[in-house]
Amino acid sequence: MAKPKLYKRESKLIAELVAEYEREKILIDSFLQAVLSDMQNTDTLGPLVHSYRFRLKDPTHLADKLERKIIKCKENDSAFNVTSDNLFEEINDLAGIRILHLYTAQISELDPILRELFCQKNYELIEGPFARTWDNESKAFFNENNIDTEESETLYTSVHYVIASNTRRRMTCEIQVRTLSEEVWGEVDHKLNYPHKTDSLPCSEQLKVLARVTSSVSRLVDSIFRTYEDSQN
């Protein structure tokens, strides 16, 4: 089946939405910086977090995402409901923060601290937490810690949250929590597969191998820290 094409009015709408984002980007940036500051100033997060990464969405990537959403709506015979008024709320990853930590087991401490932080700062948790993962052992671990799981077709693991601001014009921020080893996979995958997936079959297969290697690294680091903690008892 041929891929649906955009009408001129749809291309115009995309241009208008991207222009709105660029005009009001300072609002999103202010929200992002406020959330980041709240995290960095939370003493209980400090010992658990290795580092933070953050970004605002590139306007060209936003245009591409909106086009994909319109085409998907056409394929599903559903309405495209993003407007200038709800853009900052409907597109949840205009602002993004990644929390990097050393080993998987730390999420059992990180998650309740983050939930409490969102509550204290009056940020609404509108999505998550859920973990994208691919193996049964990881799924069981996250479920034990009251974190839902979703199948990760690309074979990576990351815990996702989406929070909304308490401002008059609501804005959202996507927060991902992952280990340093998973971040290696994420950076390589992003270079090759975003905003469009690579056509190279060898690269796609190698990325799957890398996902398994990074998962093994995370497990090894988990084991090292378990061994260390046992030795201290």
pLDDT tens-digit map of 140-176: 999 999 999 999 887 888 999 999 999 989 999 999 9
% of the chain surpassing 70 pLDDT: 99
Which residues contact residue 40 at a Cβ distance below 8 angstroms, ignoring those fewer than 6 apart? 52
CATH number of 8-180: 3.30.460.10
How far is 185 from 206, CA to CA, in rounded Å? 11
Beta pairing class for 172-179 and 51-56: unpaired
Kindly report, residue by residue over 28-68, the tens digit of the pLDDT. 999 999 999 999 999 999 999 999 999 999 999 999 999 99
pLDDT in tens, 66-76: 999 999 998 88
pLDDT at 36: 98
Q: How far apart are the first and last CA of the chain?
A: 63
